[in-house]
Amino acid sequence: MRRRGSRWQPDRRWGPAGFAALATLVFLGAVAPAHGQGMPSVVPGAATPASGELEAVTRRLVCLCGCNLTVAACETAMTCEVARELKSEAAAKLSAGMTPAEALEAFARESGERILAEPPKRGFNLTAWVLPFLALGAGAGLVALALRRWAPTPSGELAPPPEVSPEDLERVEEEVRREG
């Protein structure tokens, strides 16, 4: 779970004191905004439109730190600065009046398609979306063919059951009687 490319890579030579200082700085940097707002309330499923839109964007962006998580996941799981910056950029784009889809398009233009958590449904990327269902269709066709090939004779009679020797039958019946 090493984050390649992340800026948060403290130098081991700093020792515990250096660590403490750096950690405090990191913590302070992110905690500065408003705090102590009395008793704000969050109702399930009733997030404000702005935060809902931001969440919709960050869940569809891949963090560029190399972790392959979405920005939403990486920000929390890895305390990742790259993810935080991307989230800030997403918030700025939404504040500028972009819709989530437009914000995602803008990210793709600026950083390439790899920043999107799902390949855009156009061009060669369509194969990513379509091929699994084409394969399923082809498989269904094969199953249908197999069912037709293995269908009973046209007379409609059932095929004879596999042969079971009288000894086997007797042995099994004996077992059934004995075991209950």
Partner 1 sequence: MVELGRFSVLLALALSALGTAMGLKGALSRREEEVRGAEGAVKAAALSLTVAALALWYAFLTRDFSVEYVAEYSSRTLSIFYTLGAFWAGQPGSLLLWAWVLSLYGVGVIWQNRARNRELMAWVTPVLSGVLFFFILLLAFPSDPFKRLPFTPPDGQGLNPLLQNYGQWIHPITMYMGYVGFTVPFAFCVAALVTGNLGDTWVRTVRKWTLWAWIFLTVGIIFGGRWAYVELGWGGYWGWDPVENASLLPWLTGTAYLHSVMIQEKRGMLKVWNVVLAVATFALSLFGTFLTRSGVISSVHAFAQSSVGTYLILGTILAVLLGGGLIAWRLPELRQAGTLDSAISRESSFLLNNLLFVAIAFAVFWGTVFPLVAEAVRGVKVSVGPPFFEAVVAPLGLAVVALIGFCPLLAWRKASLRNLRRNFLLPISVGAAAAGVLSLLTKGRHPGVILTLATSAFVLATVAAEFWRGTKARRRLRQEPIVTSLARLFSRNPRRYGGYVIHVGVVVLVAAVTLHRAFATDARASLKVGDSYRVGRYSLTLASVEQKETPAKFYTQAVLEVKDASGKPLGKVRTEKAFYANQEQPTTEVGIKSTPLEDLYVILESADPAQGVAALRFLVNPAVFWVWVGAFVILAGGILVAWPSGRKAEEVRGEKERVEVAA
Q: For residue 35, state whether it binds partner 1 (rule: CB under 8 A).
A: yes
CB nearer to partner 1: pick between 92 and 138: 138
Q: For residue 179, state whether it binds partner 1 (rule: CB under 8 A).
A: yes
Residues 6+ apart with CB under 8 A from 5: 64, 65, 66, 82
Q: For residue 176, state whether it binds partner 1 (rule: CB under 8 A).
A: yes
Minimum distance of partner 1 from residue 85's CB (angstroms): 15
33-67 burial, b if ≥16 CB within 10 A, otherwise e? eeeeeeeeeeeeeeeeeeeebbebbbebbbbbbeb
Minimum distance of partner 1 from residue 78's CB (angstroms): 7
Residues 115-154 touching partner 1, rule: CB under 8 A, are 115-119, 123-125, 128-129, 131-133, 135-136, 139-140, 143, 146-147, 150-152
Q: Figure out which of the listed residues 23, 96, 101, 126 binds partner 1, where binding follows CB under 8 A.
A: 23
CA–CA dist 82, 7 (Å, integer): 8
- β-bridge partners, 61: 116
Q: For residue 42, state whether it binds partner 1 (rule: CB under 8 A).
A: yes
CA–CA dist 71, 77 (Å, integer): 10
Q: For residue 168, state whether it binds partner 1 (rule: CB under 8 A).
A: yes
